[in-house]
Structure 1
Amino acid sequence: MPLKELFRHWTYQAFAPGTLLRNKYNAFKELLRLDDACLELIADLEEIHYGREKADWARVVWLTEELGSTVRELIGQLQVMSPVRYMDLLEYFTKIEFYARMAVSVPEPEIIPPFVIPLEEAGLHGGRSGGKARNLGRILRETSLPVPSGVVVSTSAFHYFIESNDLRGRLDNLLCRLRLDRPDDMAELSGELRGLIINAAVPERLADEIEIAAMELARGGRLLAVRSSAVAEDGEASFAGQYGSELNVRPAGVLDAWKSVVAGKYTPRALAYRIMHGLADAETPMAAIIMPMVDAEASGVVYTRDPSPPACAACADGVLSVFAVPGAGESLVSGTAVAQSVYYRRGSLRRAVPLREDAVVPAPTLRRLATMAMELETLFGVPQDVEWAVDGRNRLHILQSRPVLTAAVAEEAADERQLAGMQVVLDAADCASPGFGSGVVCQVEHCAEVDDLPEGSVLVTRNLGPALTRVIDRLSAVVARQGSRASHFASVAREFGLPVIVGVEQAFSALADGMEVTVDAARGRVYSGCPGGVCGLEREERLAGVRPRVHAGGGVTRRMGKAMQHISRLTLLDAQSETFAPRYCRSLHDFVRFAHEKGVAEMFSLVGRSGRGLAGAKQLRSPLPIALYVLNLEDGLFPTAAGKKEITPDDVRSVPMWALWFGLSSDKVQWHQGLPAMDWESFDRVSAGVGVRADSQDLASYAVVSHTYMHFMARFGYHLSVVDTLCEQSGKNNYINFRFKGGGGTPEQRSLRLGFIRSVLEKQGFFIQIRGDLLDARHPHDDDTAIQKQLAMLGLLLARTRLMDMTLFEGVDVDGLAADFMTLLEDE
């Protein structure tokens, strides 16, 4: 943080602490907004990583950069709340953000001559000739097989064209919006992308080189073919049929033909294929081959090892297959013509199936073609898919050679055939983590109580607390009444492939304890029973099922693995641990969690015992003998309070304050009118019992409020209580933090009172930690109605326990007292 900002903070601290409180509150509101934005961005990246969304790599880069910028803003708001305490946080963050950006970055393009390369030299310029040209160049250099002469317009020419027209940013902005599950949008975006290419000007130097080469190749009036040769083409990903060619091109039209081939990168089918293989646009620059047209009498392809051979006795050991059609081969590769099929045994090149009498190509030519194809397999070391043509003089021409690729079969998460006949008991739930799991229902109202969960359970719970992470290896699925795909646990569940559905209001009534069910999270359904009637799994099988797994066939999924270690992997799980510190953050997600937890903690210590910064607070007058002052941060009071020095409960607009006051003022509590509820410890220390008013601000309780936020510091007798809460309608960021410390009784009496409070709060779903006579409790995210009920409970608890320690003695049944209090709540 700049020195000027630190100086301003210290100035406010010294001379305007009230302003500092409001600045801190405003920073906290912005921190919560940014926290939510960060978790949504992480969830978006995880959707891509785990195969739920098929998106262009440009979106991955954009989301990562947006996440880094948003986390930086988040840290900035935490530093506004406490400038000194988190001064080193940005240094740790900057390192991890750098790792994340580098993991998704695409290398800068090379724009170096030559832009036009002789075809035979295509393999001598690294990857700048593309896969098709590189293979043909190698055939020309290393064999005597017939390949037409030609030139390659290199990938450097492609990058030169893109950069000279300043297209990269505009292309990426459009690519960010691509979704393979939205075909209408994809067609529109594809048209915009191709329009950018077609309407751009070819740089003069590049245009001259291409046109001169084209005129040389077209001598004698020959027409030209301009064919694609993208970097990834004819490699591990074949891109077969994805890119286009321009045929019968005259030299005068070669530039337009070249731009048309380049624009072929952005057809819907080419975009989808590239995205499915996880390749970035800039990583697949388009090179192009310009060569004379072959006047083809017949043409086709050869598979030196047919991936789908015919059923015949001679085909058992593999066959070489030749497919031929009359004329040019476009009708074959487009699927519009029925090809002649000829099969040879690979070892002897004897025909495995007799040749038809109406053969398109004579038998000797076919045999010669088969021999050439096997030579190409030997050259490249793997079975080849060879494109060929034969002209009117019966001369063969090799036009392309690439590896024969076989498709991998993707494993389905849930085959609907497995679920046929099973009854749907829940439907239309929201998917927080996709997957498919069966098991026995185990209802646990509060996720803090899952330690004894049986293995293989389908957990039905109220919300997705981070405590679930520690039992993830015991779960088959999770069904939660509330939660979000942006929660911390949902992120971990996606990493481990654990199916999770949320937003199931009727979860506890529809899914009874002990019921056998099947959860199909991707479809948001729960079925009664299990496929095949068997829900039990051996431990080894279940553990194998929760190891991190990747969606089959997802190229983006595979390459994102390294990046997600620095983006979404959550290692800061325990906020109370000594390792919950900036130097232990290993991912952007860790920084988000750290900033959120520390932001809430900063609000928990918003006002010290001295009440500094509350000079503008108004005293609350009510029938209760409570010395209480209220500071309005923002819309916490109705307009009726304007100009008043003293207010009544009717002036309070704050939702959480009203809820707490409901409990404090319950008729179940008897307040002694002659004994004001104030800070007697401070009264004794400051005045020695003389000369200080009972309603002095130095002794009073305080409430700092907005419409949805409350920080309440209760100073009743000889103990201090703090309630810090957010109660918004959306519920995503709602929480309650509660602290109780001290008392006027003996250490044993104070301990008994803490035991009573702990017993009550644990039954209400709070997470508890006790150190000495200090109790800290936290209620996890919940909807506004549930938070209000818990605040009313806390108000009643504060009122009932304000002097309880003085009446407790050894042997008292604390659990019985807690049970009595719970009965009192039910009657409330």
Structure 2
Amino acid sequence: MFGLLEHIRTRLLRRRRRERVSLAALFRQFQQVLELNNRILTAIASMHDKLGGDYIFDVQYLRSSKQFIVDTVRELIDAFDAMAPGRYPGLYTAFRDIRHKLESELERRPVLPDVMAIPFADIRLRDMDAAGAKSTRLVMLAKASAGAVPPGFAVTTSAYRLFMELNDIEDEIVRLEDGWRNGGMTVQEASGKIRSRILAGSIPPRVRRAMGRELENLRRGAGEGGLRLAVRSSAWGEDGDLSFAGQYDSFLNVRPEDLHDAYRKVLASTYSPAAMEYRREYDFKPDEVFMAVSVQAMVEARTSGVVYSLSPVRRGVSGIEIAAAWGLGSPVVSGEVEVDRFLVGREPEHALLRRTVAHKPTALRPGPEGSVVTEDVDEPLRDAPSLSPEEVRLLADTAIRLEQYFKKPQDMEFAFDPSGALIVLQSRPLRIEAGDDPHSPALSEVLKEYPVLLSGEGDVAQQGVASGPVFVAWEGRDLEEFPVGAVLVAHLSSPQYAAVLPKASGVITDIGSPLGHMATIAREYRVPALLNASRATLVLKEGDVVTLDAEQKTVYQGLVRELRMHDFMSDRMEETYEYRLLRRMLKLIEPLYLVDPEENNFTPQGCRTMHDIARFIHEKAVEILTEIPTTAGASEACPGGRLELPVPMDLVVLDIGGGLTEECAGSEDGTPSRRRTVRPEQVRSKTLRAFIDGVTLEGVWQSHPVAVDFSSFMSSMTRTFSADSAGVKRMGQNLAVVSDRYLHLSLKLGYHFTLIDCYESEDDSRNSVQFRFAGGVTGAVRRSRRARFLSEVLKGFDFSVTVKDDLVVARAKGWMARDLNRLMRILGLLVAYTRQLDVSMVSDAVIFEHCQEFEHIAEEAVGN
């Protein structure tokens, strides 16, 4: 009998040891997850830096970088799966899909979405490879309210590839291009044969159906005059860092029944002699040649032309160049006709610096049967300016807004319709070659004239120069107010600002890390970003115009035009095959689509990039730590005991490694010592000690009874709590699971529940705190008022906060949590202060009163 009992005792002890190891192992796995996540973010930032033009690299570098990212993300998923075995199998599926796409890019088989046509309304920045840069840029500027564009749709690059495959043209193109490159035939001969094959090809049924569906949608929006189309090229590389200006064909005033012919002609222009020579000049490989086609409702143009937001020809003159003529703009951009010329100042008043009015006897206009015809201009208009002073200023203002939006000088094509409405037809980067100007003073001398507001502070997330009015994103401000071209100034570096980054000229934050998620988004949009600048929100005032030189970590008062011009002219990127391939690979690695954990897409199935996978795992790993088991067996398996406190909290502390002094750690053979009382001085964890300091601050903990009305009490009694908000498994015990760097607190005080998770890293940028609070003894209104109080207080201490009814979820990560001891002391104060606070929340005015009182208490306890 004794032997049986001893056997049972031994097995139970082994079981308890296993449970103890599993808790410690869980924390070690969490540490590994954080380390791997940091490694991935560092690698992504390093790959992006190679796009700056300061590095020379080859395809082998891309292969090795891809392999490092793939191996590290796989290791991250495995480490996370050890924390939550089998819980998220979809991560492996998402990982394999992204890995396959990266390998396809390196094998010169670009990844394209399986869609044949996309309406402009549905095009996003991520669709550039499918819709082409020209269509995508038009849609982007329209959605940013930087200009009006005609309605339309894009016939995708996947449709082009399907056309080539089904008509068996690809091998013929390779053979003919090889013959031309090897000198066996002229470019005209190779071009002619390729284009003949394309023009004779049949459009695949899938493409026909997609075009027909989108064409019908355009027809429904057409006016009484019926629908005519502008069918334009939108090829890979076109209107991007290279312009391909004039290399491909466009067709105007196309009848809907002639769309298929126009589509084939645009595809055929992919292999015009000029385009083939242009691609050879910039080392475009056969796997980079893809043509999307933009189909738009035709604009009836009274006046058309082109605008350069920065004069490329007048050295020493900071002006906007405008050329315009009556009718359609094709003759203007091709240089076939005399045009009116306007030079306009770049300053907001856009003063007219020079005007030349040409004699314009003819204009290109839509023909009655399709296509276009040249017509005589009425005599009084031949020598009249084609643009009014108001229209000139509107064009100048639009060009500057587009420049601010796209972060580069722009070459914009436009039209004014008969009603005087401005339509943007195209906007591409304007290439300006740097040149020595003997009349301009040295930049360093010029900069001395501008007051410096910030200097030498912060971390550079994206280099570049930005200028514009300051937009201070104070807590709760409506980001819909953000104007194009403003400089975003915020206290925290948060992914919540992702929506405004495409419109921002620059970003400056008090707190943030160049390895954080918002930094990655800033690099994706190439927005100059200076993070962790400490005093930005104190020094930079709403509406003031400033200039940020991110590389030099300097912010100047006012618009430093010379610095902006210098940045424009020095922003030259090597346009090689390796750079283009790296950009395509980064589209599968760098963008962050999973921004908000509360959104429906925050799932393994929503992961579209390697960064998404890392973001998902990081968020869920923290959540898993809040699910540490607190069964009797687990608590007996860990050393620790009931914490001796001067307030009635009844807190049990479990040590999973280094959280308590050695005398609390157990016997020499590793078995736990008999449960004991733990004194505060036996706590080694700095964060738990900070929490204890806050929660036991004299005079904050309310122990006296409070009056509760019967209806509120019954409301709380009949309320059902979710496991997420209240922690059902932990309702019966106040628990602290602690190590030398980790703290988990699960508290039930009265009728509300609090969860706190805190992780301290050797690298401050990886610190994190999470706080959850829900419940109360009163009715829903008073509980929600306490939640609002918590929200206001926590926001003031660098937490990002979400509130739903009486549930409060607050997070501080990275540099926002670098002073963990201070934050944990604040949370201790909050736990004590809010213990019965809902009872006193009799009106909204009381929220503000308690915020002021708590701010005073916190200031005395922990300082500003």
TM-score range, shorter chain: 0.5 to 0.7
The 3 A distance-change label for structure 1 pair 434 and 534 is: closer
Distance 1:473 1:125 in 2: 42
Mapping for residues 84-163 of structure 1, pairs under 5 Å: 84-105=86-107, 135=182
Letter of the aligned partner of 2:857 in structure 1?
L
Distance 1:25 1:410 in 2: 55
Partner SS state of residue 741, structure 1? strand
Aligned to 2:798: 765
Q: Is the 8 A contact 1:410 1:552 kept in 2?
A: no
Q: CA deviation at 1:783?
A: 5.4
- Alignment of 1:587 with 2:618, yes or no, is no
Question: Which of 784, 788, 792 is matched with 1:751 structurally?
Answer: 784
Question: Which of 655, 666, 674 is matched with 1:632 structurally?
Answer: 655
Deviations 1:703-738 (A, max 9, x none): 111222211111212221101112335222222211
Q: Is the 8 A contact 1:441 1:459 kept in 2?
A: yes
Distance 1:14 1:516 in 2: 64
Question: Which of 650, 657, 661 is matched with 2:681 structurally?
Answer: 650
Stretches of structure 2 that go unaligned for 5 or more consecutive residues are 1-12, 110-170, 190-275, 289-430, 667-672, 707-712, 719-729
Mapping for residues 51-66 of structure 1, pairs under 5 Å: 51=53, 53-66=55-68
Distance 2:532 2:837 in 1: 40
Question: Which of 570, 585, 601 is matched with 1:563 structurally?
Answer: 585
Letter of the aligned partner of 1:625 in structure 2?
P
Distance 2:516 2:604 in 1: 21
Distance 2:14 2:56 in 1: 50
Q: CA deviation at 1:509?
A: 5.2
Distance 1:578 1:439 in 2: 35
Q: CA deviation at 1:822?
A: 1.4
Q: CA deviation at 1:593?
A: 1.0
Distance 1:464 1:550 in 2: 28
Aligned to 2:739: 706
The 3 A distance-change label for structure 1 pair 750 and 463 is: closer
Distance 2:35 2:606 in 1: 24
Question: Which of 438, 455, 461 is matched with 1:432 structurally?
Answer: 461
Aligned to 1:728: 761
Q: Is the 8 A contact 2:94 2:608 kept in 1?
A: no
Q: Is the 8 A contact 2:505 2:527 kept in 1?
A: yes
Aligned to 1:48: 50
The 3 A distance-change label for structure 1 pair 23 and 446 is: farther
Aligned to 1:715: 748
Partner SS state of residue 438, structure 1? strand
Question: Which of 637, 645, 665 is matched with 1:622 structurally?
Answer: 645
Q: Is the 8 A contact 2:105 2:581 kept in 1?
A: no
Q: Is the 8 A contact 1:740 1:774 kept in 2?
A: yes
Partner SS state of residue 813, structure 1? helix
Partner SS state of residue 815, structure 2? coil
Q: CA deviation at 1:563?
A: 2.1
The 3 A distance-change label for structure 1 pair 493 and 766 is: same
Partner SS state of residue 594, structure 2? coil
Letter of the aligned partner of 2:587 in structure 1?
Q
Distance 1:794 1:721 in 2: 10
The 3 A distance-change label for structure 1 pair 483 and 637 is: same
Deviations 1:478-501 (A, max 9, x none): 123333332221221122121002
The 3 A distance-change label for structure 1 pair 799 and 670 is: closer
Q: Is the 8 A contact 2:702 2:835 kept in 1?
A: no
Deviations 1:412-446 (A, max 9, x none): 9xx99667522344444532112221123344466
Partner SS state of residue 768, structure 1? strand
Aligned to 1:3: none
Aligned to 1:363: none
Distance 2:686 2:283 in 1: 52
Distance 2:654 2:54 in 1: 48
Deviations 1:384-410 (A, max 9, x none): xxxxxxxxxxxxxxxxxxxxxxxx866
Q: Is the 8 A contact 1:734 1:781 kept in 2?
A: yes
Question: Which of 517, 535, 542 is matched with 2:546 structurally?
Answer: 517
- Point out the structure with max Rg over C-alpha: 1
Q: Is the 8 A contact 2:785 2:844 kept in 1?
A: no
Letter of the aligned partner of 1:622 in structure 2?
L
Aligned to 1:38: 40
Distance 1:814 1:48 in 2: 51
- Alignment of 1:75 with 2:77, yes or no, is yes
Distance 1:624 1:573 in 2: 40
Distance 2:786 2:780 in 1: 10
Partner SS state of residue 654, structure 2? strand
Deviations 1:189-231 (A, max 9, x none): xxxxxxxxxxxxxxxxxxxxxxxxxxxxxxxxxxxxxxxxxxx
Question: Which of 23, 28, 31 is matched with 1:29 structurally?
Answer: 31
Partner SS state of residue 765, structure 2? coil
Distance 1:448 1:789 in 2: 27
Q: Is the 8 A contact 2:520 2:590 kept in 1?
A: yes
Partner SS state of residue 634, structure 2? coil
Q: Is the 8 A contact 1:43 1:491 kept in 2?
A: yes
Letter of the aligned partner of 1:786 in structure 2?
D
Question: Which of 635, 639, 664 is matched with 2:695 structurally?
Answer: 664
TM-score of the superposition, structure 1-length normalised?
A: 0.55
Distance 1:620 1:724 in 2: 18
TM-score of the superposition, structure 2-length normalised?
A: 0.53
Partner SS state of residue 504, structure 1? coil
Aligned to 2:625: 603
Q: Is the 8 A contact 2:505 2:528 kept in 1?
A: yes
Q: Is the 8 A contact 2:702 2:833 kept in 1?
A: no
Q: Is the 8 A contact 1:619 1:628 kept in 2?
A: yes
Deviations 1:560-603 (A, max 9, x none): 33322211122112211111111121111111111111111212
Distance 2:757 2:661 in 1: 21
Q: Is the 8 A contact 1:622 1:649 kept in 2?
A: yes
Distance 1:550 1:489 in 2: 25
Distance 2:180 2:656 in 1: 69
Q: Is the 8 A contact 2:655 2:737 kept in 1?
A: yes
Aligned to 2:485: 456
Partner SS state of residue 618, structure 1? strand
- Alignment of 1:475 with 2:504, yes or no, is yes
Letter of the aligned partner of 2:648 in structure 1?
P
Q: CA deviation at 1:462?
A: 3.3
Distance 1:89 1:714 in 2: 32
Distance 1:134 1:740 in 2: 69
Stretches of structure 1 that go unaligned for 5 or more consecutive residues are 1-10, 108-123, 143-233, 240-275, 284-407, 538-544, 686-696
Aligned to 2:831: 798
Q: CA deviation at 1:238?
A: 8.4
The 3 A distance-change label for structure 1 pair 137 and 552 is: closer
The 3 A distance-change label for structure 1 pair 22 and 277 is: farther
Q: Is the 8 A contact 2:465 2:563 kept in 1?
A: no
Distance 1:744 1:442 in 2: 42
Distance 2:858 2:493 in 1: 26
The 3 A distance-change label for structure 1 pair 737 and 811 is: closer
Q: CA deviation at 1:553?
A: 3.1
- Alignment of 1:496 with 2:496, yes or no, is no
The 3 A distance-change label for structure 1 pair 811 and 59 is: closer
Letter of the aligned partner of 1:564 in structure 2?
L
Distance 1:583 1:12 in 2: 39
Deviations 1:452-498 (A, max 9, x none): 54553323333321011122144221123333332221221122121
